Structure 1
Amino acid sequence: MLYEFKLKTDRENMHDITPQVWEAVQKSGIKDGTVTVFAPHTTAAITINENADPDVVHDMLIGLAVAFRGTWVRIPPSPP
């Protein structure tokens, strides 16, 4: 069973796609199994992170900025 959704982004950032994945699982009617999430774009990536602390996204983007210094990562302001 294949479900597809598109995500439009303005810049480098992280987006929680849990609601879209959850909706696809619910629509499928499947009760047990494995979900595969695939991003066909060469500059997209999928990570699995806890989402309880908003600093996780900020920390991940800082880590990317350090790893790829001077290239493409824009670091948003830290949440209050």
Structure 2
Amino acid sequence: MLRSQLEDNVKAWDLEPDGQYVKRAPHKAPRLNSQEEMMEWAVRTEGRGVALPGGGGQGIQNFLVSILERIRPAD
């Protein structure tokens, strides 16, 4: 259940050109860019230490997981 909530939460945010995340308006269709795709990848792997696509390191994955932890709703 927590995994699906995190996935829904990631899809509810838009990454703006200035690097800030803003809540997506309900009427807007989701848009994906490379950073959002990486965040969704972090959710799918659930922080298991799986190598990032393209050969990225564990530090990048930890960073992405920390972003997810900051934007998810409080339980």
Q: TM-score, normalised by structure 2?
A: 0.27
Higher strand share: 2
**TM-score, length-scaled by structure 1:** 0.26
Higher Cα Rg: structure 1 or 2? 1
Greater fraction helix = 2
Q: Which structure carries more relative contact order (alpha carbon 8 Å, separation 6+)? A: 2
